[in-house]
Structure 1
Amino acid sequence: MPAKVLINGYGSIGKRVADAVSMQDDMEVIGVTKTKPDFEARLAVEKGYKLFVAIPDKERVKLFEDAGIPVEGTVLDIIEEADIVVDGAPKKIGKQNLENIYKPHKVKAILQGGEKAKDVEDNFNALWSYNRCYGKDYVRVVSCNTTGLCRILYAINSVAEIKKARIVLVRRAADPNDDKTGPVNAITPNPVTVPSHHGPDVVSVVPEFEGKILTSAVIVPTTLMHMHTLMVEIEGNIGKDDVLEAIKKTPRIITVKAEEGFSSTAKIIEYGRDLGRLRYDINELVVWEESINVLENEIFLMQAVHQESIVIPENIDCIRAMLQMEEDNFKSIEKTNKAMGIQ
């Protein structure tokens, strides 16, 4: 019988997870929730998802009814039918949902990267911590940037021991649908202190990297993707070809060449459009081949992260791990990738 998945928060992440779950043959979406009767709520119903009100309040239900958007009830009417909940709520709300809904109703739940690592039992990346999260009740899928870093560090670690990594993150200012966040005409240190939180977040997935990862970050006025510049010191000596081969062997990473027209993140997004990807999603980490270089025992490279979609396949694998549906992480990755058309 397919696993019953409830999506609590049908927004940027939630709607993508709902569609990804629907592509799998071993799980199904039993409902999605919204806090307000907006166009996303209406589209969810039109796509065939059962819609529930995220806030269990009669007045809130009436808002949907007045807007002509049919609902099946509130989150409390469906919560106990779920085998697992994927929480897609805004930052900090996921923690509140965990304490006020999921734990009292004894239902497994996946939180997103906007929540704190300490709020859950463990932190998930399919390559690094699948086995640790197997059978656990409350797990956090780490953020888009952390997911990208985990993937590339896995690739490098497969061919050389990492001594330390210095990483600069150039973060997009907002998602494309966000008309409230900036900056519009500035570059903002975020945070202005060094290191940023991204290194410790990687360590929440890969504890053996404690003391080895140092990150800093700035925000720039773009909405399409994040970009990272990595400088990774390793034990021993390997060549550029060894690094490139390791990257190409690692699931959910693709390489592109500037000489073929991939001169910017805008071109990568155009590639997603030309592939016919829904919402032009690029679930894979994207590494520029020309940026890969090895000088003595230090690896350099640049990569791009599509912030809206890179974590979506991770959520699918996390469902399988927590519900003990597949013991082998690579089998789950392969199954997810095939269903979603990921390279």
Structure 2
Amino acid sequence: MVKVVVNGIGTIGKRVAEAVNKQDDMELYGLSEVSAGQGLITLLSPEGELHGTDLYASNDKGLEQLQEDGMHVEGLLEDQMDEVDIVVDATPPGVDEMNKENLYEPHDVKAIFQGGAADDIAEVKFNADANYEKARGEDFVKVVSCNTTSLSRTMSAVDEAFGVNEAVASLVRRAGDIPQDGRGPVNSTIPVTEVPSHHGPDVQAVMPELDIKTLAVKVPVTYGHVHMVNAELEEELSEEDVLEAFENQPRVNLIEADEGFDSTGKVHEQMRDLGRKRADMQEAGVWKETVTVDDRTVYWIHMVHQESIVVPENVDAIRSMFDMEGKEASIAETNKSMEIM
């Protein structure tokens, strides 16, 4: 049983903590923070899913702040390092580097970092479908961002089946998450003027042989990114072949616009109707009707729920780093526990 602490209980951290708590081969040893945000307060409240989970402070100042905020704190995270096997670090960029230097490395504790972390924080950039084996035995791993995760999943499905010569993806990115009401833009579209955007090189960190270029804009919405992709393949194929490749990818969901799910807002409502907590969609959602083949070029459009798509990747990264399961078994176990379609 691997003992896991989640450090940083924000958008990603709270979801990862809940996911770890559902695994039969992992123990959620505790949570770690420096202040009591609304997510932490809710999770540990009597009605919260993680009520009763031990709370630790990441540093001395955080201990004072959490106690001032009225939270029951067991003590400092540093004092628990000998009891912990791995920390999933979901703290802000820069803080994660200090945690690695001051906590994880001195105590020989493994750690997983998130997509916003600096590239050099870990040698392995992880996506369960594309490079699960790369994390085996590693001490530090970076789970790539939401956009990179979705591109790695869809591209690996197509590349493994048919081979991809080159690809171009145009990203329409959400402005902020639903609680981030202070972020913009408002009534504006902001292009990423550096071409390619960082997303292409990020995918290549997971799939180094893939020739991919990306462009991106940011728009005033809160639920989901949308990617428009075209890929030139090594062999001729049919639309049915591509659809089958996506169907065989355990974290790609085919969305049917003809059934009424023709926008991110309607997919959001579908997740709510299905009873998904927080309306999360951990799968990359490919609109079935957009999958089009012209000679050796395939086109598709998919959506990304930025708050939740990376959560199962964190769970699988733990299993890979401790050599607990093979790729297919880990993905299946995580999907079952999280009720991923």
Q: TM-score, normalised by structure 2?
A: 0.96
Distance 1:92 1:172 in 2: 23
* Equivalent position of 1:53 in the other structure: 57
Match of 2:179 among 160, 173, 177: 177
Note if contact 1:125-1:314 (Cα within 8 Å) is conserved in structure 2.
yes
1:331 aligns to 2:335 (yes or no): no
Note if contact 1:6-1:79 (Cα within 8 Å) is conserved in structure 2.
no
Distance 1:71 1:106 in 2: 24
Match of 2:159 among 149, 157, 162: 157
* Equivalent position of 1:123 in the other structure: 125
Give the SS at the match of 2:228.
strand
**Which range moved further: 273-282 or 66-75?**
66-75
Note if contact 2:164-2:234 (Cα within 8 Å) is conserved in structure 1.
yes
* Equivalent position of 1:133 in the other structure: 135
Q: How many residues align?
A: 336
Distance 1:315 1:66 in 2: 31
Superposed displacement of residue 23, structure 1:
0.7
Q: What CA deviation, in whole Å up to 9, does each residue of 1:281-335 have, x standing for no partner?
A: 1000100001000011110000000000000000000000111111x10110001
5+ residue gaps, structure 2, are 46-50
Superposed displacement of residue 82, structure 1:
1.0
> Match for 1:335: what amino acid?
E
Note if contact 1:169-1:229 (Cα within 8 Å) is conserved in structure 2.
yes
Superposed displacement of residue 96, structure 1:
2.2
Note if contact 1:56-1:75 (Cα within 8 Å) is conserved in structure 2.
no
The 5 A counterparts of 1:153-302 are 153-190=155-192, 192-209=193-210, 212-302=211-301
Match of 2:338 among 320, 337, 340: 340
Superposed displacement of residue 92, structure 1:
2.7
Note if contact 2:93-2:118 (Cα within 8 Å) is conserved in structure 1.
no
RMSD across aligned C-alpha pairs, in angstroms?
Answer: 1.2
Note if contact 1:55-1:75 (Cα within 8 Å) is conserved in structure 2.
yes
Distance 1:292 1:65 in 2: 53
Distance 2:199 2:69 in 1: 41
**Which range moved further: 330-339 or 175-184?**
175-184
Note if contact 1:117-1:204 (Cα within 8 Å) is conserved in structure 2.
no
Give the SS at the match of 1:184.
coil
Give the SS at the match of 2:75.
coil
* Equivalent position of 1:68 in the other structure: 70
> Match for 1:204: what amino acid?
A
Note if contact 1:137-1:322 (Cα within 8 Å) is conserved in structure 2.
yes
Give runs of ≥4 in structure 1 deviating > 6 Å: none
> Match for 2:121: what amino acid?
D
Note if contact 2:164-2:231 (Cα within 8 Å) is conserved in structure 1.
yes
Superposed displacement of residue 24, structure 1:
0.7
Give the SS at the match of 2:301.
strand
Superposed displacement of residue 43, structure 1:
2.4
5+ residue gaps, structure 1, are none
Superposed displacement of residue 66, structure 1:
3.0
1:26 aligns to 2:25 (yes or no): yes
* Equivalent position of 1:321 in the other structure: 320
Q: What CA deviation, in whole Å up to 9, does each residue of 1:128-178 have, x standing for no partner?
A: 211111010000000000000000011111321101000001000001111
Give the SS at the match of 2:161.
coil
Note if contact 2:14-2:40 (Cα within 8 Å) is conserved in structure 1.
no
The 5 A counterparts of 1:84-95 are 84-95=86-97
Give the SS at the match of 2:172.
strand
> Match for 2:119: what amino acid?
A
Match of 2:113 among 106, 111, 114: 111
